[in-house]
Amino acid sequence: MNKEQRDFLKDSVRKRVDFSRTGQSRGVPEPPWQKPTPAGSPTVSLPAAGNWNVPACDLREAIARRQSHRRFLTLPLSLDDLSFLLWAAQGLRQAASPRQNFRTVPSAGCRHALETYVAAMRVQGLDKAIYRFLPHGHSLVKVKGFDRLESLLSEATFGQRFCGDAAATFVWTAVPERMEWRYAEASYKVIAIDAGHACQNVYLACAAVGCGACAVAAYDQARMDELLGVDGDEEFAIYLAAVGKVQSEPS
């Protein structure tokens, strides 16, 4: 038993934080709501909320049938499917307003300290590559193409092959500065909680598009960060979800 690590789950930290010293209290400008895109990066527009071909889905049934899937059909995801799943994970609730950062998932203090990457193995219209989702603008920016993306993902998850067999594997990174600006040392537990919201929405949204998902928290930190091209300090991977088409079950 490690007391310090157990304490991570408690909120005792809040009484130790000097909130008068946070970036916000000192007037430091708010970190950007999403990671800026390097100039000239190739971007892909995604079908906007409401413009996609996604059938209605009974929420009660989606919750009742939610389960982890690790075997996927070889069928690709459509761009509509991916757009919908990304919207469910981290999309803006009021896409029309660039001054608001309210999303489809809750976040402590509305800080939204996550970025969502997609390793696209089989998505119609997308090269096999790693992309980053831009909630503001509802688009993807291409990070890097990889010929061996399937095996690289499997290697970066300690041999969990379904992460490479998936049509797309989502990887959430944390950008701690966004949460620290307001909550200092009280940031870390709530970032982890926020990642759970994103992943659960993906599980449930999968039901609407004939997909299944499996959450993954066991991965090689250094390899995954390298694959995403993040520095491992200011931004690092914290959670994954492998997603693919699955055999429909009789109701």
Ligand X SMILES: Cc1cc2nc3c(=O)[nH]c(=O)nc-3n(C[C@H](O)[C@H](O)[C@H](O)COP(=O)(O)O)c2cc1C
Dist. CA 31–CA 113, nearest whole Å: 10
216 binds ligand X (CB under 6 A): yes
Closest CA to 236 of 244, 245, 251, 226: 226
* Choice between 35 and 161, CB closer to ligand X: 161
* Choice between 140 and 214, CB closer to ligand X: 214
Residue in 63, 64, 193, 217 binding ligand X, rule: CB under 6 A: 217
CA distance readout (Å), 185 to 32, 73, 98, 150, 210: 20, 43, 29, 37, 41
* β-strand pairing of 129-134 with 211-216: unpaired
169 binds ligand X (CB under 6 A): no
Hunting for tokens 């009789």 — which residue is that? 250
97 binds ligand X (CB under 6 A): no
* Choice between 92 and 114, CB closer to ligand X: 114
Q: What 3-state class would DSSP assign to 34?
A: coil
Q: What angle do CA 138, 139, 144 make, to 5 degrees?
A: 150
* Interface pattern 109-148 for ligand X (x via CB under 6 A): ----------------------------------------
* Choice between 44 and 113, CB closer to ligand X: 113
Least separation in angstroms between CB 17 and ligand X? 26
Subset of residues 12 to 71 that bind ligand X, contact rule: CB under 6 A: 67-68, 70
Dist. CA 96–CA 26, nearest whole Å: 31
* Choice between 96 and 218, CB closer to ligand X: 218
The site for ligand X (CB under 6 A) is made up of: 67-68, 70, 160, 214-218
